[in-house]
Amino acid sequence: MSFSVTILGCSAALPTANRFPSAQLVSIRNRRYLVDCGEGAQMQLCRYGFSALQVNHVFISHLHGDHMFGLFGLISTMSMMGRRSPLHIYAPCGMQQILDDHLRYFGEGVSYSVEVHELCCERQSIILEDKHITVSTFPLYHRVPTCGFLFCEKTPPRNIFKEAIAKYSLPLCAIIAIKNGSDYTLPDGEVIPNEQLTYQPYAPRTYAYCSDTIACREVALAVQGADLLYHEATFADDMRDFAINRGHATARQAAQLARDAGVKRLIIGHFSSRYRSVDALVAEAQQVFPNTCAAKDGATFFLNQDLPFAD
């Protein structure tokens, strides 16, 4: 089943000519989840072929402008496009007051409700769940309360081998029971284990999003084994002390965390505007964790099992 991440913006606080501020669109089974909403996020959605009306859930990692200034224009645009369904915003404490103040002055005529779910950034917790996925928060370590987000697929129902249906002449009632986990008993009393009759169609996948944070053991534990990790890499490692003082990570530190966490693939982003090219940051990270790629506005990454990044 489809599971992908599209980069809408990968710049740090100052946008550049080819990098918008932080925003991503996570797509799972044709449902769209916006993660951070930097300035211009609605323009990027349009540019890369997505409708703002497809977004029902917005996750804001922290209340710094480069991660949320795009939210207010997005809310207005959704109203002008005729939205009627609620928009759910998940953000650290303070978001409700910010949004109330904005809507007091600029929210006249908004055609739908905006529901804010304020997050505790001090512990891991599930904030959204349906039959296919869970979305969880975990603490990040920045200058203000900050959350990371984990998108985890649930284990899918098992499929039955078509050959087994024909081989054992399975009736419909037996097929339903087998898909629900039952063994099958033949007329002569022989029991065919469920594992011989069914297979798991795909392994559940996990995407971890780490916006502004120092790289530390606690974060590595939270993202352990993720299929795809996005981790900020605002600076090169020659600015390590400055990065730590500002609550940020270097490319090398992000790679070390990815290695220690046993993730399969790493995307680095949130690049400082001082880097016109990020090739040196990617090379620095790849020395530690080879399966590293740079975020790039408009790039889409698919969560396919055990596939390296393309060159």
Residues acting as catalytic residues? 66
Is 70:105 a contact under the CB 8 Å cutoff?
no
Return the number of other C-beta atoms located less than 10 Å from residue 50's C-beta: 18
**Residue partners of 174: CB distance under 8 A and separation at least 6:** 184
Q: What is the widest separation between alpha-carbon atoms in the chain?
A: 76
Residue with tokens 């309360």: 145
Which amino acid is it at 115?
A: E
- 3-state class of 229 per DSSP? strand
Q: Report whether 265 contacts 308 (CB < 8 A).
A: yes
Residue 10 CA from chain centroid, whole number: 14
Cα dihedral 86, 90, 91, 96 sign: positive
Q: Distance between CA atoms of 106 and 159, rounded to whole angstroms?
A: 51
Query: What is the amino acid identity at position 111?
Result: S
What is the three-class DSSP state of 215?
Answer: coil
